[in-house]
Amino acid sequence: MIQGTTLKVVELVVEKLAYGWSPEELLFQHPYLTLGQIHATLGYYWDHADELDKEITERLKKAEELQNEAKRRQSPLVARLKVKAVL
């Protein structure tokens, strides 16, 4: 966690990696952070990149599993519409 916030280090790092945002853009996107907090977070990431990259990979895998599970399930609304031959 970034001290004084509910934002996790990996969440900020994923934004940096996914969007290529600079520290200044991250500050614009998260005005409740200080530029010092952002630099400290990125520094922490570079000091612990292997560990945090593993956590990011696990989070992405879990998100993919949840998406696949949601696709397999049929929502009750879709089931009712199919019974009524609307879908």
**pLDDT value at residue 87:** 72
Instruction: Say what the pLDDT of residue 78 is.
Output: 85
With a cut of 70, which residues of the chain have pLDDT below it?
none
Which pair of tokens denotes residue 50? 């292997």
**Residue 2 near residue 37 (C-beta atoms within 8 A):** yes
Q: What is the pLDDT of residue 76?
A: 87
Query: Residue 19 corresponds to which tokens in the numbers above?
Result: 């969007």
